[in-house]
């Protein structure tokens, strides 16, 4: 009886560990690559900048990317870049420009940005202004998955697994007869 109980407890502990770590395994599989597509306009906000080079750098990993030169519509693309925050710069015939704000790229999504180059001021560095941002993309991770990867979700998984294990052990315990002759 003790061997059977030990095996059941071992099975329950293994099952609990699998439940505990499965949300994290799912979250790691969901991580993917994102895309950044944009247009660059001159300081008038109407004329496309042709032949500009867009550069981005992940602020966490310091990994840098360069786009191809912008086409006749001022479009640049970064496809298959890792999720994160990026600083951005633009190189044109007029000089180098920096985007003032960070740009966030999400996994499995495409970020569309429009950049307008600001005129050069002596007291400021040349800057590019982000005019608009729109997120579009494929499927986002479900809210349920996000909940179960949070500390509260993990606590619920552990508590539920513990209650189920306790219930199984109590169901499998055999009630012994009370006898005045047993010690």
Asked if the model's pLDDT at residue 65 lies above 90, the reply is yes
- Between the alpha carbon of residue 93 and those of residues 25, 40, 152, the distances in Å are 47, 13, 53
- Mean pLDDT across the stretch 111-117? 88
Total tally of structural domains belonging to the chain = 2
**Better-scored residue on pLDDT, 136 or 74:** 74
Q: Which domain holds residue 65?
A: 32-137
- Decide if 183 is inside a domain: no
Examine the domain organization and report whether 111 and 155 are in the same domain.
Answer: no
Going from the C-alpha of 74 to that of each of 50, 79, 125, the distances in angstroms are: 5, 17, 22
pLDDT at 135: 47
Cβ atoms of 85 and 104 within 8 Å: the answer is yes
Q: What are the residues whose beta carbons fall under 8 Å from the beta carbon of 115, sequence distance 6 or more?
A: 38, 39, 40, 41, 90, 99, 128, 129, 130, 131
CA atoms within 13 A on the CB side of 25: 6
CATH of the domain at 129: 2.60.40.2630
Look at residue 71 and give its three-state secondary structure. coil
Percent of the chain exceeding pLDDT 90 equals 23
Q: Are residues 127 and 39 in the same domain?
A: yes
Question: Is 163 a residue whose pLDDT tops 50?
Answer: yes
Q: Domain check: are 71 and 41 in the same one?
A: yes
* Closest by Cα among 25, 1, 6, 8 to 157: 25
User: What CA–CA distance (Å, rounded) separates 157 from 24?
Assistant: 12
| Cα gap 19→160, rounded to integer Å | 10
Place of tokens 């009886």: 1
Statement to judge: residues 113 and 167 lie in one domain: no
Q: With contact defined as beta carbons under 8 Å apart, do 95 and 126 qualify?
A: yes
The three-state (H, E, C) secondary structure of 8-40, written as one string: HHHHHHHHHHHHHHHHHHHHHHHCCEEEEEEEE
Based on the fold, state whether residues 124 and 37 are members of the same structural domain: yes
For 120-157, write each residue's pLDDT tens digit: 555 455 555 555 444 444 444 556 667 767 788 788 88
Q: Which residue has the tokens 């030990």?
A: 6
Q: What is the CA radius of gyration of the chain?
A: 28
Q: Does any domain span residue 167? A: yes
């Amino acid at each position: 009886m003790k061997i059977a109980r030990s095996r059941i407890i071992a099975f329950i502990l293994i099952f609990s560990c699998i439940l505990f770590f499965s949300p994290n395994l799912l979250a790691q599989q969901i991580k993917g690559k994102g895309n950044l597509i944009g247009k660059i306009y001159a300081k008038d906000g109407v004329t496309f900048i042709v032949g500009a080079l867009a550069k981005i750098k992940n602020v966490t990993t310091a990994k840098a990317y360069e786009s191809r030169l912008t086409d006749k519509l001022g479009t640049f693309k970064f496809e298959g870049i890792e999720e994160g925050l990026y600083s951005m710069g633009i190189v044109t015939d007029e000089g180098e420009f920096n985007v003032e704000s960070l740009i966030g790229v999400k996994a499995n999504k495409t970020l569309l940005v429009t950049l307008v180059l600001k005129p050069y001021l002596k007291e400021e560095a040349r800057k590019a202004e982000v005019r608009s941002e729109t997120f579009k993309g494929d499927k986002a991770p479900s809210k349920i998955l996000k909940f179960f990867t949070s500390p509260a979700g993990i606590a619920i998984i552990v508590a539920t697994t513990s209650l189920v294990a306790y219930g199984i052990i109590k169901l499998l315990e055999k009630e012994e007869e009370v006898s005045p002759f047993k010690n």
